[in-house]
Amino acid sequence: MVSQRLAPFGTSVFAEMTALANEKGAINLSQGFPDFDGPDAIFEAAQKAMRVGENQYPRSRGHVSLVRAVAESRERLYGLAFDPLTEVVVFSGATEGICSSMLGLLNPGDEVVLFEPAYDSYGPCAAMAGATARYVTLRFPDFAFDESALRAAVTPRTRLIVLNTPHNPTGKVFTREELSTIARVAQEHDLVVLADEVYEHLVFDAAVHVPIATLPGMRERTLTLSSTGKTFSLTGWKVGWGCGPKHLVDAAQAAHQFVTYATATPLQVAMAFALREFRGPYLEKFRAEYLERRDFLVSALRDAGFVVAVPKGTYFVLADFSALHPGDDMAFARWLVTEHGVAAIPPGSFYAADRTEPRRLARFAFCKRMETLKRAAERLRKVRA
């Protein structure tokens, strides 16, 4: 019964692997959600909002307190000025942002350039908009791309480049030089960039998150998406946003008004509070804690016999398991969860053009308590044996 557009995509690998992890009683390092809660003060802000009557439909483009807090945070962090009332739109998570933006910006027959591995919803959302995806493959372990591969993916039908930095699932943080290449191609071909920056605060070592909208000439052609789910460890609240020039925000809004119309009112009010109150010191601690988790998981995977691409950003790590198992990514992920009680994501559904690339890779999430990661490390140690 599933429509022709969606039939090729099957069930989300995240739902599938979390269900399998629960069924097997495994430690779940598959789907990216923290096994700890966000700050109490944000819960109190949501409860207070409910008690003072913030319970009916909000403004479709976003509660005024939240669009203001988003605009203020963009200005403070990146020096990007957006008019909160016309250049910001609140979505029910970046997931809805991706979908509404593509539905609002694309015409049937248009083409979209994706870097693969590509977050699993990009391809299906392009398909829902009647567009076709073309891919530039980022290869393990350095995930570099060259300009000629990007240029080869652009045709006269291309309308959009989707850029995800920091990048799920590779942990790549696009450098200023790489972003300049993308910006040059976008400007030469008059393309829009849909920049998915949900991991904007999760960068490590010397890596710096550079929003592509800050590059010369790019503010006018970039719609930037982000989300509060990762930053405040509240992925189930599903509060995200898009920022960009009015003509791009209006396009996304044209779809958003009919997709969800709006996002839960008290949660928007609480997230406005979070953006205002949880700034520098909170974000520094957040990054430091994730750095400790990253380093721990990377060494646990190496000790177990994986070859690891150390992530510069996000809370994921891609690891090559070929020294440990002869099968493909799906066979390995099933074996690991069944025989060793650790769930990981087989990254096959992030790849469409080069199906051989993911066959030896598994994605592990480190958005978990150190105690959980230590238990996982004990189990992983037995994999080599």
Do 266 and 55 form a contact (C-beta atoms < 8 A)? yes
If the CB atoms of residues 240 and 348 are measured against ligand PMP, the closer one turns out to be: 240
CB hemisphere CA count around 376 (13 angstroms): 28
What is the closest distance, in whole angstroms, from the C-beta atom of residue 91 to ligand GLN in the complex? Answer: 14
* CA-based R_g, the chain, Å: 20
φ and ψ at 196, to 5 degrees?
Answer: -95, 105
- Contacting residue, 21, 27, 31, 125, with ligand GLN by CB under 6 A: 31
Q: How far is the CB of 369 from ligand GLN (least distance, A)?
A: 17
Q: Are strands 361-365 and 316-320 parallel, antiparallel or unpaired?
A: antiparallel
The position carrying tokens 């400790």 is 292
Q: Which of ligand PMP, ligand GLN, none binds 282 (CB below 5-8 Å, type-dependent)?
A: none
Joined together, the tokens standing for residue 323 give: 């020294």
Regarding 372 and contact with ligand PMP (CB under 6 A), the answer is: no
- Give the footprint of ligand GLN on residues 139-178 (CB under 6 A): 168
Query: Residue 260's binding partner, choosing from ligand GLN, ligand PMP, none, with beta-carbon cut-off 5 to 8 A by kind?
Result: none
Cis peptide before 166 (omega within 30 of 0): yes
Of all residues in this chain, which one has the CB nearest to ligand GLN in the complex? 32
Give ∠ CA 307-198-240 in degrees, rounded to 5: 150
14 contacts which partner out of ligand GLN, ligand PMP, none, CB within 5 to 8 A by kind? ligand GLN
Residue nearest to ligand PMP (CB): 93
x/- map, 356-375, ligand GLN, by CB under 6 A: --------------------
The partner in contact with residue 229, picked from ligand GLN, ligand PMP, none with C-beta cut-offs of 5 to 8 angstroms by kind, is ligand PMP
Residue of the chain from 26, 29, 32, 252 that contacts ligand GLN (CB under 6 A): 32
Q: Which residue from 32, 311, 313, 358 is in contact with ligand PMP, where contact means CB under 6 A?
A: 32
CB nearer to ligand GLN: pick between 12 and 175:
12
229 binds ligand PMP (CB under 6 A): yes
Nearest one of 39, 248, 63, 263 to 71, comparing CA atoms: 63
* 101 lines the binding site for ligand PMP (CB under 6 A): no
Nearest to residue 294, comparing CAs of 304, 308, 274, 279?
A: 308
* Residues comprising the chain, all counted: 385
Q: What DSSP string runs through 245-311?
A: -HHHHHHHHHHHHHHTSS--HHHHHHHHHHHHHS-HHHHHHHHHHHHHHHHHHHHHHHHHT-EEE--
Question: Is residue 93 near ligand PMP by the rule CB under 6 A?
Answer: yes
Q: Choose which of 196, 200, 329, 357 interacts with ligand PMP (CB under 6 A).
A: 196
Given ligand GLN, ligand PMP, none, residue 34, with its beta carbon under 5 to 8 Å by kind, binds none
What's the min distance (Å) between Cβ of 190 and ligand PMP?
25
Which residues are 363's β-sheet partners?
A: 318, 345
- Cβ atoms within 10 Å, residue 355: 10
Dmax (CA) for the chain in angstroms is 59
| Binder of residue 227, out of ligand PMP, ligand GLN, none (CB less than 5 to 8 A by kind) | ligand PMP
Using CB under 6 A as the binding rule, the residues of this chain from 267 to 326 that contact ligand PMP are: none
Q: What pairing do the DSSP bridges indicate for beta strands 307-309 and 158-164?
A: unpaired
Q: By the 8 A CB rule, do 232 and 205 touch?
A: no
Pick 168 or 222: Cβ nearer ligand PMP: 168
The CB-of-32 to ligand GLN minimum distance in angstroms stands at: 3
The owner of tokens 């003072």 is 52
Residues that bind ligand PMP (CB under 6 A): 32, 93-95, 119, 164, 168, 196, 198, 227, 229, 235, 238, 240
Residue numbers of the site for ligand GLN (CB under 6 A)?
12, 14, 31-32, 168
